[in-house]
Amino acid sequence: MADGDDIRAMLAILERQQQDHQMQQEILMRIESRIIRAQSPVGPNVTLGFVKLVDATGRLHPIPMDVCDSFERFNGMLQLLLEHNSIEARIQRRYMEQGQCILCIDDGKQATRLTSNEWPSIEAGTKIVMSVIIEQHIPSEVYYLCPFCGDVNCLDIRPVMYSFERQAICSIDCRKCKQRFQISRVKRDTWSTNNAPNSTTDTEMGHICNLHVQQTVYPRTRLNNALRSFYDHSAPDHIKWEVYSQGPPNDLTWHTTIYIDDLNYGYASAGTRSDAQDKAADIACTYLSREAERR
């Protein structure tokens, strides 16, 4: 009985390998067809060489240089690669449709994001990594949770903040599981939640290898960090919050004014206390940034 089970298992493995081979052949034929259609009518104009694309599931795909001259052509080839019906392709197509995938040139230390507005001249042999975006809502400036094992990774604040000032993307190798993931930081208004990304399910996590952790920094957190940069540990002594509500109990309007060293740095109103505070904090951050630029 055991021998029979072993034979069936081997046949299943061989069948999957054959299916993968057939799928790769179909993809290569599609690529060849697209390149031929894109050639000049007066003769072939093919750029030799390939770019190495690592998709979000960790699979390596050679991409012809002819489609690497623009984001639109590269993205079209990427969609072509993911046309088949495997679970890995379906997962990646879903995240692409939601705008929750990014492309980066990753040199092992720093990743450069590729967009339609910022598409550099790419050389043959360049490694481009496709990653799925997930968000972390963490108040700390230098701690990141590994999306693979959940371990907390503490980073040196100086190179990280320098990268973020340049709007760059950093890569981290988790100190525990050694998996690599990318990090970036965005300013997010808590009162704007319509574009919140869908969560990544446990089933999908079993197939995704490349993750981009986008840490959300809320206005009050940014304000506290800015004040610490000005006043260090005495920052709480320099800020005063004036918060009150008006209107009927079922339709309150909350008002917040922020005073820094007794000067009004921001006023805002909103339907909830938290939103009013965050809006006022965002205004205060803008004024503090301008002051920092003048120093």
The answer to whether 219 and 191 have CB atoms below 8 angstroms apart is: no
Of 221 and 37, more confident = 221
User: For residues 63 and 179, is the Cβ–Cβ distance under 8 A?
Assistant: no
For residue 128, the model assigns a pLDDT of 92
Beta-bridge partners for 151: none
The CA–CA distances, whole Å, from 90 to 10, 57, 83, 98, 124 equal: 26, 11, 8, 13, 28
pLDDT of residue 191 exceeding 80, the answer is no
Please give the full DSSP string across 260-272, using - where no structure is assigned: ETTEEEEEEEESS
Token code pair at residue 116:
């339609």
For the segment 133-154, the average pLDDT, to the nearest whole number, is: 68
This prediction has a pTM of 0.50
Pairing of the two strands 211-217 and 180-187: parallel
pLDDT at 17: 55
3-state secondary structure (DSSP) of residue 41: coil
Band the pLDDT of 33: cuts 50, 70, 90: low
Question: What's the pLDDT score for residue 28?
Answer: 57
Phi, psi (5° rounding) for residue 41?
-65, -15
pLDDT at 127: 92
- Give the pLDDT score at 129: 92
Residues of the chain with pLDDT > 90: what percent?
A: 16
User: Strand, helix or coil at 257?
Assistant: strand
Return d(Cα 277, Cα 257) in angstroms, integer: 8
pLDDT of residue 242: 94
CB 182 within 8 A of CB 211: yes
Q: pLDDT confidence of 140, banded at 50, 70, 90?
A: very low
- pLDDT value at 54 more than 70: yes
- CA-to-CA distance for 64 and 253, rounded, in angstroms? 58
Q: Contact at 8 Å (CB) between 102 and 133? A: yes
Instruction: Give 192's pLDDT tier (boundaries 50, 70, 90).
Output: very low
Give the highest mean pLDDT range of 38-42, 97-101, 122-126, 259-263.
259-263
Query: Of 11-20, 143-152, 180-189, which range is least confident?
Result: 11-20
Choose among 164, 162, 260: nearest CA to 215: 164
- Residue 52 pairs in a beta bridge with 62, 127
Short-list 137, 161, 157, CA closest to 278: 137
Mean pLDDT of 59-69: 90
Answer with the residue of higher pLDDT: 155 or 189: 155
Beta bridge partners of 182: 171, 212
Residue 260 scores a pLDDT above 80? yes
- As a whole number, the mean pLDDT across the chain is 76
- 197 secondary structure, DSSP code: P
Mean pLDDT of 195-212: 65
Contact 168, 182 (CB under 8 A): no
> Looking at the predicted structure, is the pLDDT value of residue 11 above 90?
no
- Residue with the bigger pLDDT between 229 and 275: it is 275
| Among the ranges given (203-207, 221-225, 247-251), the one the predictor scored with the smallest mean pLDDT | 203-207
